[in-house]
Copies of this chain bind each other. A is one copy, B any other.
């Protein structure tokens, strides 16, 4: 870079929004990313780090000197810090703890006292509270004492004299209502989130009520923090990424721009798992080598049976996983759904069995092969529908994320059932 261009870049890096800077960094190959990061001014570092995805953030953090890191995290909110704190090496954690102001350290410890993935770990303790028995005039004067309100303050949290959560006073109301009115008469009785609730429940809560911020309370209904929509959106994004990527055995933190070696390592495990299922399918075919030896047309058609089952099963599986994620599947409608999916399997099975039988007949002019493939298609599509709904339900009960392993198990079932029914029926009827 020319000296002058370099100066322009430094100036640009100082004024750019940290969210935009994070996006630019994420869309860079690792080496260039490091180079750019070196140029980011210290004043931007903390905010930018909090916008980055874990994988990218960690790759940048390890390049920073402990002092620089401490300087950056000092400007972070306690909850953002809690989120990354446990990934730092021991000595970095110690020097951070030594240098942090007492107040922030105390907040950090509160966040860390809740398990990862709970609302308590996620919440910010930067909350403005008002008492329910004061007037809006008092609230207005109180707000004037603040230099600034925390981001996403759409309302103030209302507590009673004893510190118990009562509801939320929207800023809207403060501004539009008569100033003699008491807080308790205009506040919303919005439900609070329990600190021990898990993140997934938090996103559903935000999505259901379209909230900007929500109070977090402890088991005694004492207000201890709040969660804002930007955090809820990030969890939502991470969850959908997990569902989307999990299906291909990819980590939700998978970085399109990670170095070749680490990408290869991550992906190879999944290929290994799938190899086992592929050999299972091969083993099933192996049972019928005598049959294949005699009727080679079977070898030509057998992938059709397996593939149709895989596609149909995958449709049911994806819908079921999504229904579970949105909490739409309950014990009340589970059987109704299973019956519906199996019924669709039968209808589609009948339809495509006829089409495939005709195509097979046109190709091989053998009525026996046509009958056998038709029967195998029906069997496999029904098995696919049943597995598509049963596998995620069973996995969820076993506390295994169906987004991660559901598709492999399903394909194993449809391959095995497909090959076995097709080649098995052929062995029985055609030899």
Interface check A62, CB cutoff 8 A: no
Q: Please tell me if the beta carbons of B176 and A148 are within 8 angstroms of each other in the complex.
A: yes
Interface check A243, CB cutoff 8 A: yes
Chain copies in complex: 2
Interface check A244, CB cutoff 8 A: yes
CB-CB contacts of A259-295 with B at 8 A, as 1s and 0s?
0100110011011101101110110011001001100
How far is the CB of A363 from the nearest CB of chain B, in Å?
8
Interface check A210, CB cutoff 8 A: yes
Q: A244-B318, A271-B352, A272-B355 are in contact. List 20 more A-B contacts (CB 8 A).
A: A17-B209, A23-B328, A27-B329, A29-B336, A143-B175, A143-B176, A147-B176, A149-B176, A151-B210, A154-B154, A240-B240, A241-B322, A256-B328, A260-B343, A260-B344, A270-B315, A272-B352, A282-B303, A289-B299, A299-B299
Please, which residues of chain B bring their CB within 8 A of the CB of A333? 27-29, 257
Interface check A212, CB cutoff 8 A: yes
Chain A residues within CB distance 8 Å of chain B: 17, 19-20, 23, 26-29, 140, 143-144, 146-149, 151-154, 171-176, 207-210, 212, 229-230, 233, 236-237, 240-241, 243-245, 247-250, 254, 256-257, 260, 263-264, 267-268, 270-272, 274-275, 277-279, 281-282, 285-286, 289, 292-293, 296-297, 299-304, 306-308, 311-312, 314-315, 318-320, 322-323, 326-330, 333, 336-337, 340, 343-344, 347-348, 351-352, 355-356, 359, 363, 415
- Decide: A304 near B275, CB < 8 A? Known: A26-B328, A318-B245, A319-B256: yes
Please, which residues of chain B bring their CB within 8 A of the CB of A268? 348, 351-352
Q: Please tell me if the beta carbons of B208 and A275 are within 8 angstroms of each other in the complex.
A: no
CA distance A270 to B319 in the complex (A): 15
CA distance A143 to B248 in the complex (A): 53
Interface centre among A233, A299, A306 (most CB of B within 10 A): A299
Candidates B263, B271, B303; contact of A303 at CB < 8 Å = B303
Shortest Cβ distance from A246 into B: residue: B318
Please, which residues of chain B bring their CB within 8 A of the CB of A243? 244
Q: Please tell me if the beta carbons of A304 and B282 are within 8 angstroms of each other in the complex.
A: yes
- Decide: A275 near B356, CB < 8 A? Known: A27-B333, A281-B303: yes
Please, which residues of chain B bring their CB within 8 A of the CB of A212? 152, 154, 212, 229
CA distance A319 to B363 in the complex (A): 39
- Decide: A303 near B306, CB < 8 A? Known: A233-B233, A279-B359: yes
Q: Please tell me if the beta carbons of A149 and B174 are within 8 angstroms of each other in the complex.
A: no
Please, which residues of chain B bring their CB within 8 A of the CB of A171? 171-172, 175
Candidates B250, B275, B286; contact of A319 at CB < 8 Å = B250
Interface pairs (10), CB distance under 8 Å: A23-B328, A27-B323, A148-B173, A174-B175, A212-B229, A233-B236, A240-B244, A245-B318, A248-B315, A278-B304
Please, which residues of chain B bring their CB within 8 A of the CB of A320? 256
Please, which residues of chain B bring their CB within 8 A of the CB of A154? 152, 154, 212
Please, which residues of chain B bring their CB within 8 A of the CB of A257? 328, 333, 337
CA distance A176 to B144 in the complex (A): 4
How far is the CB of A252 from the nearest CB of chain B, in Å?
10
Candidates B173, B299, B307, B311; contact of A292 at CB < 8 Å = B299
